[in-house]
Amino acid sequence: MTKLINFSHPLANEAKKALQTMPYSVHEISDVAVQIDFTQDLNLQVDRIVKEAIEKVGGNPLDIDLVILPGHSTIAVMVTDYLSTYGAHPRIVTMQKNGIASPFLPDKIIFLRTL
């Protein structure tokens, strides 16, 4: 069963349907709210976010198959680094918006370990 952690904005129904037609068809989506206070320690906040994600898949970081990263690039890099620290190397789903009124939809799947 493919598990996806969404660190980004809530997914539209169209995005959820599209995820089921992509390679690694998604069976379970867990949202993790990413609210960052840039006046506080970023490491502690990102560690908390990643631990929450791990808990949402049952406590085993290796059960995170796919992630949609947060929109803020610094936090996205930190989340990726923390996931790897815990032994998780999930594939990353990129999102694409095809017009002003359209929702963000899954675009590509990237596996960082093969780059």
The rounded mean pLDDT for the chain is 92
- Is the pLDDT at 78 greater than 90, yes or no? yes
3-state helix/strand/coil string of 56-114:
HCCCCHHHCCEEECCCCHHHHHHHHHHHHHCCCCCEEEEEEECCCCCCEEEEEEECHHH
3-class DSSP state of 19: helix
* pLDDT at res. 100: 80
* pLDDT at res. 102: 80
Q: What residues does 33 pair with on adjacent strands?
A: none
Q: For 5-39, write each residue's pLDDT tens digit.
A: 999 999 999 999 999 888 878 889 999 999 999 99
Domains assigned to the chain: 2-114 (3.40.50)
